[in-house]
Amino acid sequence: MGEMIKGGVLFPGTDHIDQWNKVIEQLGTPCPEFMKKLQPTVRTYVENRPKYAGYSFEKLFPDVLFPVDSDHNKLKASQARDLLSKMLVIDASKRISVDEALQHPYINVWYDPSEAEAPPPKIPDKQLDEREHTVEEWKELIYKEVVELEERTKNGVIRGQPSPLGVTTIHSPRHPSSSPSVCDASTSLSTDRTRTSDTDSSLEASTSPLSCCR
């Protein structure tokens, strides 16, 4: 949400440590209560960092970032900042929950119980994402999924059921494009992974990811 409002990455760190520094510079150094939850080596590093008071959310998200007029009178800059101040909390135990966020005035105008409480989508093959696939295989799988979705929704016709009002749908054969795409670029990337230090991985695990920032 914060990144959509600002139109950019909130905490553009080059690695986990640099990103942590970016977070505390803007949100402020966490309280001693949070420090106690960290592993000793991580706590030592965090405690030895300079202390930051952080910026106010009025400075992080000024009025100029929000539209002057809104279709909903509740969609005000102050409402957005209030919600962001509860979402962008380093200590996950003090961060606003999803259910609480859905009831917040800035979000509640769009709240639809039928969507929020709907059953999760059925995944026919739960192991599909866990298997190794080539770039071309992924392209084929994605293309097939899109085509099947179009067939299920086009003209309100569900596959395997008669067309309403005698409507006949004709699906011409399609073939995935063979032109270069962004996916092709992934084949040129190295698959070697640099092992992060204990401090990197521990810090990431201890702080819990901020869902609204990267």
- 143 occurs within a structural domain: no
Tokens 């996916």 found at:
183
Does one domain contain both 50 and 73?
A: no
pLDDT tens digits for range 110-145: 888 888 788 877 766 666 667 788 999 989 988 998
- 202 occurs within a structural domain: no
Does one domain contain both 49 and 72?
A: no
pLDDT at 50: 93
pLDDT at 44: 93
Into how many domains does the chain fold? Answer: 2
Does one domain contain both 30 and 50?
A: yes
- 3 occurs within a structural domain: no
DSSP 8-class letter at 37? T
Does one domain contain both 115 and 82?
A: yes
The H or E element containing residue 148 is helix 135-153
pLDDT at 72: 61
Q: Look up the domain containing 104 and give its range.
A: 64-119
Does one domain contain both 72 and 97?
A: yes
pLDDT at 169: 43
pLDDT at 156: 60
- 4 occurs within a structural domain: no
Does one domain contain both 69 and 45?
A: no
- Between residues 31 and 189, the one the model is more confident about: 31
pLDDT tens digits for range 143-201: 998 998 888 877 565 444 444 444 444 444 444 444 444 444 344 434 444 444 444 55
- 71 occurs within a structural domain: yes
**pTM, rounded to two decimals:** 0.56
Q: Choose among 91, 89, 67: nearest CA to 79.
A: 67
pLDDT at 204: 53
Does one domain contain both 43 and 68?
A: no
